[in-house]
Every structure is written in structure tokens, then in C-alpha cells.
């Protein structure tokens, strides 16, 4: 008897997954055990890029997760509800679940994994982070004997695609976003990509796996890329950096607290993450004793994501074929305690800041004095441009406590010579 799939969603990822499963030649022979039994969609009238028997497609998704014949539910619909409820129902009916839905896992992971553990089934989520890049299973299995210190990633394909094209072609933000949507990279609501929320969901998942505890999503500091302008990209370039949306989870050396954050960051050009362009993602994991290991590959798109979804399905087929009484602890997620996350003001980092000031002598000196009052030392100060009669000054600091830097900025904002501070970015 074949293993019966109930797939929820036939959009970009669902279609890619069905295409892969319908084209098995040259792939793992275990795939032949799989039957696409039901596929749930919102509309039966839409033209699809795959052919499926009429009785397979349905708009009754609840019937799929309740159907005793279904062995594995593959949730590829996205969004929070009804995805969360359908996943929980599937688990409660004793079905394994594969999902690409980082939004649901980052918010309801505790509830979902507890339900799965009680039901004695697995929830697999390789596609939820880094698209096609194998990173979830390596963190759960191959790297799990390491003490992880830092996970640093470019983990949103849409924003990396946008920033790359803004940098290399000087393209306009909204034109490139429209291309990312057309290519199937963006979320149904691309706000979550652009505002950094998708990357925050993903780093919460990676941090949970890497540091062995639950992560409260509200504790993850998050800034998106809307504030990144062509001007900043040009200045960064001149200073030897590229701007990337980084997601970082790092253990403080002197406490058990974590720093978990997403923000646009100036990355030095020689750094391995600086050369990750377009829809590609990369995740740099640092641990002991392994040192550094980097995972690189396509972070979004139909085929790449289908590869991750189908590898999870294949793992579950293998589980179903070799049924064991006890669950495999390397497949489950059983964290009970929450990781302690330090506030962003405690972060120690370098900063890039761009000021528009009146073109008067002594402005740079006044800036330097304010920074000095809070122990902020400057690595470089550049004054090259003018904008609308205002002088443009760019500074890069040495490492500073974010709280001290913000106090200095508050004082600087009150200086008569300062018009505005259009950009404030962290430097890796
Ligand atoms: N796109 C990508 O590159 C990646 C996406 N993901 C994740 O994969 C998931 C799917 O993304 P993607 O394929 O891009 O999304 P799409 O918007 O392209 O597809 C969503 C599918 O789900 C169906 N659907 C959505 N809501 C409902 C509902 N309430 N009832 C019935 N059917 C519903 C839609 O039906 P219909 O077709 O009838 O409208 C559609 O087939 C998301 O969680 C996303 O975050 C993860 C990695 C990469
Ligand atoms: N919208 C996401 C899709 C993959 O997770 C992205 O752009 O990375
Ligand atoms: Na992945």
C-alpha cells in the first residue's frame, strides 16, 4: 500500500511539490511509494500548472485532515488560520505533518510540537527556513553535538533579491518587489518580507533549534529594508560594505542570554555573506568544536522549496515503512523552556549613521563631542555630498553598546545644526 498525501495548497510551493512527485525518474525510488491522494485549494476554477484527477482536488480542507486514509498532511497554504487549526487537527488524527509555514511554527510551535509529541507523530519543516537549503535537519542532527555560539543568516530571498538589484542595477524598490512577486519568491502579503517579519520567524526557528529552547517571537528585534536607500547603498559601497538584511542569533559570552535580531546590516565585502546575491540565502553557523559552517542555496521559489518539502515527505515515508514503537528524538522537537533574550539596548555593535546638517564650520566637532560624551568612538567620518543645501555626513563607529549610541543620538538630534538623521544601520 502506498503512503497517501493530503496536500493543503497548490500555489507556488504546492505546484512545485506536485510537479516533483509526478516526475520521479532518476530520483529516490522510495518516492514511488507516495500517492497524491487529496489536494486542498481555495478555488476549483483556477487554471493549474499540474494535471490531477478531478476527484483529488477539493475545497474541503477539513475533510482532508480528518480522512483516516491520509497518512501525511503537507501544509503549503501559508497564513496563520486556518493553517494552524488544520495542522493541529491532522496531528490529533495521528497524521504526520510537513509544513513550509514559518509564520505558524514561529508563533504556535510550542502548541504544535506538544500536540505532535502527545500524538506520537512528527512535524517536519525543512522548507520553512532557507527554502531548498538543508538547514533544519543539519541543525537537529548533524550539528547537534556542537555548542552553537552564533547563527547569522540571509534568510529572506525576496529582500536579498531586492537589495541585490538595487545595488547592482540601481533599480527602484517597488519595481523589483513586483518582480519578486511574479517569480513566486514573496509571501502572499509581501509586507512580511519587506518588514523583516518573515526573517524574524525564521531566525526564531533557527535559534530554537541551535540553542535548545523556545523563543518568544515578541523578543526578536526586527527592522525591515524600507529605510535602505540608494544613497546608503552607495555610501556603504564606498566604505567597503554591502547592505544585507541579516538575521542573527548569538549567545552573549558573559551570560546565558541570547541576542536575536533582524535588521539591515553593513557587511564588510570580504565576509562570506557579502557575496550572497539575488534569491540565494546563506546561513553561517558557528559552534564548538566545529568552528564555522555555512549553508548556501536558493532561499525561495517553487522547485527549490519543493525539494525541501519532498525530502521531509521522504523521511516520513521511511518512518512509516519502518514503524518503531518510540519516536525518533532527532525528528521531534520537545523544548519546554524559553531562551532568555537580551534587549536590543544591550547589543554591542558598530553603527553606520548618515546625518543631514547645516553647512557650517564645527558641525563634525559637535557630533564628535556628543558621541564622546557617551563613550562612542568613531572609526570613520566622511563628508562628501550635499542634499538640498544640507551637508551630508556619514559616520561609522567602533563597537558600542546600542543603548549608549542611542543616548548620543538623542543629544545629537537636539543640536541646532542637525537637520535630520535619515539612516541608521548596524555594521557586522
Ligand atoms: N514561495 C516560496 O518560495 C516559499 C514559500 N514558503 C511557504 O510556503 C507556503 C506556501 O507558499 P506559496 O506556495 O508561495 O503560497 P501561494 O499563495 O502561492 O499558495 C497558497 C495555496 O494555498 C491555497 N490556500 C490558501 N489559503 C487557503 C484556504 N483558506 N483554503 C483553501 N486553500 C487555501 C491557495 O489556494 P488557491 O490556489 O485556490 O488560491 C493556494 O493554492 C507559505 O507558508 C510560505 O511561507 C516557504 C518557502 C519558500
Ligand atoms: N517569502 C520568502 C519565501 C521563502 O521562505 C522569501 O522571500 O524568502
Ligand atoms: Na530549508
CB 133 within 8 A of CB 318: no
Positions marked active-site: 202
The share of the chain scoring above pLDDT 70, in percent, equals 99
Q: What's the rounded Cα separation, in Å, for the pair 161 and 411?
A: 37
CB 123 within 8 A of CB 73: no
Q: Is the distance from the beta carbon of residue 161 to the nearest atom of ligand 2 less than 6 Å?
A: no
Residue 118, pLDDT score: 96
Q: What's the rounded Cα separation, in Å, for the pair 89 and 75?
A: 12
Residue 112, pLDDT score: 98
| Mean pLDDT, all residues of the chain | 96
Residue 333, pLDDT score: 86
Pocket test for ligand 2, best of 17, 133, 164, 186 (most atoms within 8 A of CB): 186
Q: Which ligand sits closest to the CA of 134?
A: 3
- Per-residue pLDDT tens for 216-231? 999 999 999 999 999 9
The stretch 365-371 carries a mean pLDDT of 95
Tell me, in angstroms, the distance from the centre of ligand 2 to residue 157's CA: 5
Q: Is the distance from the beta carbon of residue 186 to the nearest atom of ligand 2 less than 6 Å?
A: yes
The residue contributing the CA closest to ligand 2 atom 1 is 186
The stretch 264-278 carries a mean pLDDT of 98
Tell me, in angstroms, the distance from the centre of ligand 2 to residue 187's CA: 6
Q: Is the distance from the beta carbon of residue 299 to the nearest atom of ligand 2 less than 6 Å?
A: yes
Q: What's the rounded Cα separation, in Å, for the pair 1 and 425?
A: 56
Set of cell numbers at residue 427: 555594521
Q: Residue 173: in which H helix or E strand, if any? A: helix 173-182
Task: Estimate to the nearest angstrom the gap between the alpha carbon of 86 and the chain centroid.
Answer: 23
CA atoms within 13 A on the CB side of 328: 17
Which residue from 126, 95, 127, 129 is spatially nearest to 112, judged by alpha carbons? 95
Residue 1, pLDDT score: 62
Q: How far is CA 314 from CA 39, 140, 317, in A?
A: 18, 17, 5
Q: Exposure pattern of 12-46 as b/e (b: 16+ CB <10 Å)? A: bbbbbbbebbeeeeeeeeebeebebbbbbbeeeee
Tell me, in angstroms, the distance from the centre of ligand 2 to residue 275's CA: 19
Tell me, in angstroms, the distance from the centre of ligand 1 to residue 14's CA: 7
- Per-residue pLDDT tens for 67-123? 999 999 999 999 999 999 999 999 999 999 999 999 999 999 999 999 999 999 999
Q: Residue 324: pLDDT band by 50, 70, 90 thresholds?
A: low
Q: Is the distance from the beta carbon of residue 193 to the nearest atom of ligand 2 less than 6 Å?
A: yes
Cell numbers 480542507: residue: 61
Residue 290 has phi, psi (to 5 degrees) of -70, -30
Q: Residue 385: pLDDT band by 50, 70, 90 thresholds?
A: confident
Pick the atom of ligand 1 nearest to 185's CA: 3
* Ordered DSSP codes for 56-90: TEES-HHHHHH-TT--EEEE-S-SSTTHHHHHHHH
Amino acid at each position: 500500500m502506498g503512503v497517501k498525501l493530503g496536500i493543503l495548497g497548490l500555489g507556488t510551493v504546492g505546484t512545485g511539490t506536485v510537479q516533483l512527485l509526478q516526475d520521479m525518474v532518476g530520483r529516490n525510488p522510495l518516492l514511488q511509494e507516495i500517492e497524491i491522494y487529496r489536494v486542498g485549494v481555495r478555488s476549483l476554477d483556477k487554471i493549474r500548472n499540474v494535471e490531477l484527477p478531478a476527484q483529488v482536488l477539493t475545497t474541503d480542507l477539513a475533510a482532508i485532515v480528518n480522512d483516516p486514509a491520509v497518512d501525511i498532511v503537507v501544509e503549503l497554504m501559508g497564513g496563520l488560520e486556518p493553517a494552524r487549526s488544520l495542522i493541529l487537527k491532522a496531528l490529533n488524527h495521528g497524521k504526520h505533518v510537513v509544513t513550509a509555514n514559518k509564520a505558524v511554527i514561529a508563533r504556535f510551535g510550542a502548541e504544535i510540537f506538544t500536540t505532535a509529541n502527545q500524538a506520537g507523530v512528527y512535524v517536519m519543516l525543512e522548507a520553512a527556513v532557507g527554502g531548498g537549503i538543508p538547514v533544519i535537519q543539519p541543525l537537529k542532527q548533524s550539528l547537534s553535538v556542537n555548542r552553537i555560539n552564533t547563527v547569522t543568516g540571509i534568510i529572506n530571498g525576496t529582500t536579498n533579491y531586492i537589495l541585490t538589484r538595487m545595488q547592482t542595477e540601481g533599480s527602484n524598490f517597488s519595481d523589483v518587489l513586483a518582480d519578486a512577486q511574479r517569480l513566486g519568491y514573496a509571501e502572499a502579503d509581501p509586507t512580511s518580507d519587506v518588514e523583516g517579519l518573515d526573517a524574524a520567524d525564521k531566525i526564531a526557528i533557527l535559534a530554537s533549534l541551535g540553542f535548545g529552547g523556545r523563543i518568544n517571537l515578541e523578543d526578536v528585534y526586527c527592522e525591515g529594508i524600507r529605510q535602505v536607500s540608494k544613497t546608503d547603498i552607495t555610501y556603504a559601497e564606498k566604505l567597503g560594505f554591502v547592505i544585507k538584511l541579516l538575521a542573527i542569533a548569538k549567545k552573549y559570552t558573559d551570560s546565558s542570554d541570547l541576542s536575536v535580531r533582524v535588521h539591515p546590516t553593513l557587511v564588510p565585502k570580504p565576509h562570506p555573506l557579502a557575496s550572497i546575491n539575488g534569491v540565494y540565502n546563506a546561513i553561517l553557523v558557528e559552534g564548538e568544536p566545529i568552528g564555522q559552517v555555512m549553508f548556501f542555496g536558493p532561499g525561495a521559489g517553487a522547485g527549490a522549496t519543493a525539494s525541501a518539502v519532498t525530502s521531509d515527505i521522504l523521511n516520513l515515508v521511511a518512518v512509516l515503512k519502518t514503524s518503531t514503537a518510540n519516536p525518533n528524538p532527532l525528528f521531534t522537537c520537545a523544548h519546554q523552556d524559553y531562551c532568555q533574550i537580551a534587549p536590543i539596548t544591550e547589543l554591542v555593535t558598530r553603527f553606520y549613521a548618515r546625518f543631514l546638517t547645516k553647512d557650517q564650520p564645527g558641525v563634525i566637532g559637535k557630533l564628535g563631542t556628543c558621541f564622546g560624551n557617551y563613550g562612542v568612538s568613531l572609526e570613520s567620518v566622511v563628508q562628501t555630498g550635499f542634499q538640498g543645501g544640507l551637508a551630508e555626513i556619514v559616520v561609522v563607529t567602533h563597537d558600542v553598546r546600542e543603548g549608549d549610541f542611542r543616548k548620543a543620538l538623542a543629544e545629537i538630534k537636539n543640536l541646532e545644526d542637525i537637520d535630520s538623521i535619515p539612516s541608521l544601520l548596524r555594521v557586522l
